[in-house]
Amino acid sequence: MTTIIERAPAKINLGLDIQGKRQDGYHDLEMVMVSVDLCDYISVSPLDDDCIQFASDCPKMPVNAKNDVYKAAQLIKSKYGIQSGVSLFLTKKIPICAGMGGGSSDAAATIRALNQLWDLQMSKEEMLEIGMAIGSDVPYCIEAGCSRISGKGEIVEKIDGHLASWVVLVKPEFGISTRTVFPEINSETIKRVNIDKIVETIEQQDYQEMVAAMGNSLEDISIARKPFIQKVKDKMMSSGADAALMTGSGPSVFALCQSEKQANRVVNSLKGFCKEVYKVRTL
């Protein structure tokens, strides 16, 4: 029996800028995202019965049509008229409700895995279309890496440059629902982030300038709700991080460090302060 295992890496936002509200109710976003080597894994195997079986090692995950993995399998089966079944298993390492794109990356990995399993030979555009039907971060996660994302999330452009850095990730014990953050956005007063500058500094491999340009328009809203986010950032910076920033709509915060020694210092400073701390690298 063929089993295909696909890696689903977490992402962090080096930049997130809200450009305004669209007529369809969504916000126009400009983002720079990079993948890190904290990964979930999706295993897919064929079934004779025409059904979708889904399980996970994470008891907190719904293993039904509410889960993006299941949604991806359903969409592909329907779109391509697949009349055989599939068994899906999700090994979860990325914290849930963390702003690290775990669910979106899981869905993207499912699309890639089923493309192989069922030999669908989907084009990149077809994969992106399925991804966008699931969620706005999924198109980025199809290819992952270091990219600029715009529109609702459907426009993904690879950045011609590589960020090699240690990353210390902290997931506080509380979650923040993205859906509840966006209604609070005031396009007139929100902090703006220069995404062009971040892209330019990555392309020029100018780490210090990139660090100076990083920012997240949603930070102020999430920190006003949960001041602990700012405390984590302050602790990271005081222990020698080059940068500390919230990712997505939060609550997770990451620090960038050029050396592993620096990263170890940041990790040690967070012991006893936060339970979920991860030392990873950019991919």
pLDDT the model gives residue 246? 97
Residue that finishes a domain, picked among 124, 158, 192: 158
Confidence of residue 176 (pLDDT cuts 50, 70, 90): confident
- 152 and 179, same structural domain? no
Confidence of residue 154 (pLDDT cuts 50, 70, 90): confident
Q: Is 100 annotated as a binding residue?
A: yes
- Name the one residue in this structure whose structure tokens are 């995950």: 61
**Residue type (1 letter), 147:** S
Residue that finishes a domain, picked among 131, 158, 185: 158
Q: How far apart, in whole angstroms, are the C-alpha atoms of residue 280 and residue 283?
A: 9
Residue 78 neighbours by CB under 8 Å, 6+ apart: none
- 11 and 150, same structural domain? yes
Mean pLDDT computed over 95-112: 94
Mean pLDDT computed over 181-196: 89
- 147 and 71, same structural domain? yes
pLDDT tens per residue, range 21-53:
877 777 788 999 999 999 999 999 999 999 999
Half-sphere exposure of 88 (CA within 13 A, CB side): 29
Q: How far apart, in whole angstroms, are the C-alpha atoms of residue 18 and residue 104?
A: 20
Q: Is 250 annotated as a binding residue?
A: no
Mean pLDDT computed over 225-235: 97
Whether residue 216 contacts residue 13, with contact meaning beta carbons closer than 8 Å, is answered with yes
**Residue type (1 letter), 112:** R
Residue 69 has pLDDT above 70, yes or no: yes
Mean pLDDT computed over 202-213: 97
- 129 and 88, same structural domain? yes
Residue 1 has pLDDT above 70, yes or no: no
- 215 and 90, same structural domain? no
Q: Is 97 annotated as a binding residue?
A: yes
Confidence of residue 191 (pLDDT cuts 50, 70, 90): very high
Which is it for strands 52-56 and 85-91: parallel, antiparallel or unpaired?
parallel
Distances (CA, A) of 256 to 161, 178, 208: 17, 24, 11
Beta-ladder partners of 135: none
The CATH number for 49's domain is 3.30.230.10
pLDDT the model gives residue 116? 97
Q: Give kind and range of the element (H or E) at residue 207.
A: helix 207-213
The CATH number for 260's domain is 3.30.70.890
- 17 and 140, same structural domain? yes
SS3 152: coil
Whether residue 250 contacts residue 229, with contact meaning beta carbons closer than 8 Å, is answered with yes
Q: Is 240 annotated as a binding residue?
A: no
- 188 and 107, same structural domain? no
| Cis peptide bond N-terminal to 251, omega within 30 | yes
- 143 and 178, same structural domain? no
- 144 and 85, same structural domain? yes
- 101 and 50, same structural domain? yes
**Residue-range definition of the domain harbouring residue 269:** 166-281
pTM: 0.93
Residue that finishes a domain, picked among 158, 180, 203: 158
Q: Is 96 annotated as a binding residue?
A: yes
Q: How far apart, in whole angstroms, are the C-alpha atoms of residue 146 and residue 160?
A: 8
Half-sphere exposure of 150 (CA within 13 A, CB side): 10
Active site residues: 11, 137
SS3 99: coil
φ, ψ of residue 178 in degrees (nearest 5): -55, -40
Q: Is 45 annotated as a binding residue?
A: no
- 195 and 143, same structural domain? no
Report the percent of the chain where pLDDT is more than 70: 100
Whether residue 112 contacts residue 9, with contact meaning beta carbons closer than 8 Å, is answered with no
Q: Is 102 annotated as a binding residue?
A: yes
Report the percent of the chain where pLDDT is more than 90: 83
Whether residue 95 contacts residue 252, with contact meaning beta carbons closer than 8 Å, is answered with yes
- 227 and 134, same structural domain? no
Q: How many structural domains compose the chain?
A: 2
